Amino acid sequence: MIDPKILRQSSDEVAANLARRGFAFDAGAYLELESERKELQVQVEALRNERNASAKQIGQAKARGEDATPLLEAVKDLGMKLDTADARLQLVLQQLQDIELGLPNLLHADVPDGKEESDNKEVRRWGEPPAMDFKARDHVELGAQSGLLDFDTAARISGSRFSILRGPLARLQRALIQFMLDVHTAEHGYEETYVPYLVQADALLGTGQLPKFEADLFRTATETPYYLIPTAEVPLTNMARDSIIDARELPRRFVAHTPCFRSEAGSYGKDTRGMIRQHQFEKVELVQLTRPADSDRALDELTGHAESILQRLGLAYRVVVLCAGDIGFGSRKTFDIEVWLPGQQRYREISSCSSFGDFQARRMQARWRNPETGKPELLHTLNGSGVAAGRALVAIMENYQNADGSIAVPDALKPYMAGIETVSL
């Protein structure tokens, strides 16, 4: 959430910043509501003070044995006026909150202009796509040939956008996850964390998925509704909610492997083939909580941690900075890492690393105590995939395929494969 003080004091600048995203912020309507809020708060406070003073007079009159009927009538009238004014105040406060929760984050000054994915700017590349003396198959063909990747049976069980992995291919995904967790904990300083897969609405409100993106979530029909997590970012970041962290404990770095669940409501017709876009997928997520002064550096660092996984796996990739029109709702700056897929002959996203500034922290009241002032201040939050296990598996299948359809196991994963060096039926 954007600081309401900035919305009030620099509404034109906010509108111009958000316009780069293609988002129209009606600053005039917001300021009108804000002005009404101020007037109503003054009115409500004055009526409340007057009612309290009258109530005191009633008590004194009764103590003197006087008729308090006129005072009681006056208090009743004040009470009705107070109720009316307070009801209007609550409505205005709710309208202001609805506007504030619906506003995307302010963009970092480094974010390039642009309207869509094609306007993103490439930052760097690593590695070369593999040279193959045969026609590369995509992961769907490879999985069908081996029988180890089964979409048809998954569809009979759960519907579209699900898959079943079997045998050594399932083990290869598990190896990927273990490998990533080991690297991030042993070398990059993240604390391995096991988190709930079901969260309440407040957690999703804190990280920005609610209220705007409810259609993308799976919700239970229980008396108290729960949501299946779309990413471990939600429970990991909410670990700091309603708390004040000592400056000496920063930065905090968490890593978690979880399944992730997304309805993909806004992606009808996109990536319907294969494992690229599914309702359930595995991901290793990285989250950092930092001082504001450290967040820009932390984003570069976090992106590098995700890149190191692909480098060790020998997978060619490129890094792009997302343009203003393609960046996520809560992010102020995002780097996407795109891995080369021979079966598609193109780079596809495998990790998205974002800095949120204090956008999430303000929603969650996640703070740190500044030792220079002794006062609590909002944290900066960051997260990124370190990386998406399903897409990494797709990349390995396609980049390490052999002419006969078997898949060589990357050297980095061999210690996790119990002697299996080639995946085949």
Q: Is 263 annotated as a binding residue?
A: yes
Q: Is 232 annotated as a binding residue?
A: yes
Q: Does residue 110 belong to any structural domain of this protein? A: no
Q: Are 265 and 388 in contact (CB under 8 A)?
A: no
Q: Is 351 annotated as a binding residue?
A: yes
Same domain, 127 and 86: no
Instruction: Provide mean pLDDT across the span 205-213.
Output: 97
- Apex 299 CA angle, 294 and 301, nearest 5: 90
Based on the residue annotation, tell me whether 277 is a catalytic residue of this protein.
yes
Same domain, 176 and 90: no
Same domain, 97 and 142: no
Given 277, 291, 312, 369, the catalytic residue: 277
Please report the pLDDT score of residue 64 as a whole number. Answer: 74
CATH of the domain at 71: 1.10.287.40
Based on the residue annotation, tell me whether 262 is a catalytic residue of this protein.
yes
Q: Does residue 112 belong to any structural domain of this protein? A: no
Same domain, 255 and 158: yes
Q: Domain total for the chain?
A: 2
What pTM value is reported for the model? 0.93
Q: How confident is the model at residue 54 (pLDDT cuts 50, 70, 90)?
A: confident
Separation between Cα atoms, residue 287 and residue 231, nearest integer Å? 11
Closest by alpha carbon to 199, among 221, 219, 223, 215? 219
Tell me the two tokens of residue 2: 């954007």
Closest by alpha carbon to 79, among 131, 42, 44? 44
Q: Does residue 189 belong to any structural domain of this protein? A: yes
Same domain, 170 and 240: yes
Question: How would you classify residue 22: left for phi > 0, otherwise alpha for psi between -120 and 50, otherwise beta?
Answer: left
Instruction: Provide mean pLDDT across the span 50-77.
Output: 75
Same domain, 222 and 273: yes
Same domain, 209 and 259: yes
Same domain, 201 and 87: no
Contacts of 48 (CB under 8 A, 6+ apart): 82
Same domain, 314 and 205: yes
Residue where a domain terminates, one of 102, 134, 149? 102
pLDDT tens digits along 91-115:
999 999 999 999 999 999 999 999 9
Closest by alpha carbon to 179, among 258, 284, 314? 284
Residue where a domain terminates, one of 52, 77, 102? 102
Secondary structure tally for the chain: helices H, strands E: 12, 17
Q: Does residue 360 belong to any structural domain of this protein? A: yes
Domain that holds residue 8: 4-102
Same domain, 135 and 86: no
Q: Is 285 annotated as a binding residue?
A: yes
Q: Does residue 209 belong to any structural domain of this protein? A: yes
Separation between Cα atoms, residue 415 and residue 406, nearest integer Å? 19
158-167, 176-185, 249-258, 261-270: which has the minimum mean pLDDT? Answer: 261-270
Q: Please report where in the chains the tokens 């009538």 appear, as a residue.
A: 73
